[in-house]
């Protein structure tokens, strides 16, 4: 079976040439991770665990020291595949200011298309469509620097969408946002995945965001330690705590209630599930 994103036995190191002699730091260690087309994968791990490095491998920003990475069947180590891969898998970074290059929102979204030589009528269509998709069409003539953090990040996503990618790699896109901004971005990401079938790889530190994915992969020390559904991952509270990672607040609450002897499911990951479980406990106690 050919997977849409496929990292197989990937090793990657950064070389620090400022040191004498140069120092090599191993970041990814024999990593294998596969993503199906249309899937929503969340990647969790500490800072320095290798998760951002892996995402950059899927975008051909990083080329592995050994092992192979393919995107829609295209190997990233073939220079001829670089542009098709970047069109297929667009990347959104943590700070939207690093991706916004124009002084008007619609000009920023059009920037990459103009550089690719797309004809003006098609650029107009794609820009309008992308901005409508992320709910920013009414701001098309605004200056990006006057937008909120969540709005800027949605403009950055629109710039990627205008390229018509099949996949979007998001490297902690909500890390610098307030709760409202995080919700705006996550609602956009989920809509793209559910309604348009865009493959999503989301790197995040927010467990509630990861709980909304189809699948979670946990990277620690450059290795994939866990891989499964949100329920199967977050129900392993002790293991997560041992790794120094959190679980959603409602999962933590359910875990503590179970430890105190209450009969409550171990795989609760949403507020709705928690409310229903507690209501059932109260009903039994009457």
Topology classification of domain 5-229: Rossmann fold (3.40.50)
Q: 19 pLDDT exceeds 90? A: no
pLDDT digits (tens, 9 = 90+) for 228-262: 999 999 999 999 999 999 999 999 999 999 998 88
Cα torsion through 163, 169, 172, 176, rounded to 10: 0
Q: 286 pLDDT exceeds 70? A: no
What per-residue confidence (pLDDT) applies to 181? 86
Q: 16 pLDDT exceeds 80? A: no
As a whole number of angstroms, the distance between CA 233 and CA 272 comes to 19
Candidate from 8-12, 32-36, 160-164 with smallest mean pLDDT: 160-164
Distance from chain centroid for Cα 267: 23
Residue 22 pLDDT grade (very low, low, confident, very high; cuts 50, 70, 90): confident
What per-residue confidence (pLDDT) applies to 1? 60
Residue 263 pLDDT grade (very low, low, confident, very high; cuts 50, 70, 90): confident
What per-residue confidence (pLDDT) applies to 211? 95
pLDDT digits (tens, 9 = 90+) for 60-90: 999 999 999 999 999 999 999 999 999 899 9
pLDDT digits (tens, 9 = 90+) for 197-208: 999 999 999 999
User: Average pLDDT of the chain?
Assistant: 92
Question: In 10 A of CB 221, how many CB atoms?
Answer: 15
- Count helices and strands (H / E) in the chain: 11, 10
What per-residue confidence (pLDDT) applies to 168? 94
Give residue limits of the domains in the chain: 5-229
What per-residue confidence (pLDDT) applies to 138? 95
Q: Which two tokens stand for residue 204?
A: 């995040």
- Using a cut of 0.75, tell me whether the model's pTM lies above it: yes
As a whole number of angstroms, the distance between CA 222 and CA 12 comes to 9
pLDDT digits (tens, 9 = 90+) for 116-140: 889 999 999 999 999 998 989 999 9
pLDDT digits (tens, 9 = 90+) for 165-199: 999 999 998 888 888 888 988 999 999 999 999 99
Q: DSSP character for 263?
A: -
Query: Which residue reads 């990672």 in tokens?
Result: 245
The mean per-residue pLDDT over the stretch 15-35 comes to 86
């Amino acid at each position: 079976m050919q997977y849409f994103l496929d990292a197989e036995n990937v090793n990657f190191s950064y070389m620090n040439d400022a040191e004498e002699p140069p120092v090599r730091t191993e970041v990814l260690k024999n990593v294998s991770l596969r993503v199906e087309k249309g899937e929503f994968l969340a990647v969790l791990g500490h800072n320095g665990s290798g998760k951002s490095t892996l995402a950059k491998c899927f975008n051909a920003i990083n080329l592995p020291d050994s092992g192979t990475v393919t995107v829609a069947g295209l190997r990233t180590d073939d220079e001829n595949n670089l542009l098709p891969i970047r069109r297929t898998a667009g990347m959104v970074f943590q700070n939207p200011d690093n991706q916004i290059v124009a002084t008007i929102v619609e000009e920023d979204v059009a920037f990459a298309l103009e550089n690719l030589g797309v004809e003006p009528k098609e650029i107009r269509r794609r820009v309008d469509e992308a901005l409508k998709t992320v709910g920013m069409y009414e701001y098309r003539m605004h200056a990006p620097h006057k937008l909120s953090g969540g709005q800027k990040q949605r403009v950055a996503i629109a710039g990627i969408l205008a390229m018509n990618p099949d996949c979007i790699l998001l490297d902690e896109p909500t890390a610098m946002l307030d709760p409202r901004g995080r919700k705006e971005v996550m609602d956009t990401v989920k809509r793209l995945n559910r309604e348009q079938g865009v493959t999503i790889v989301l790197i995040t530190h927010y467990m509630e965001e990861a709980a909304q994915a189809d699948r979670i992969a946990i990277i620690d020390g450059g290795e994939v330690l866990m891989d499964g559904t949100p329920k199967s991952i977050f129900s392993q509270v002790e293991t997560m705590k041992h790794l120094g990672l959190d679980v959603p607040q409602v999962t933590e609450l359910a875990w503590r209630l179970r430890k105190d002897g209450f009969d409550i499911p171990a795989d609760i990951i949403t507020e709705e599930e928690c409310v229903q479980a507690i209501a059932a406990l109260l009903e039994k106690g009457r």
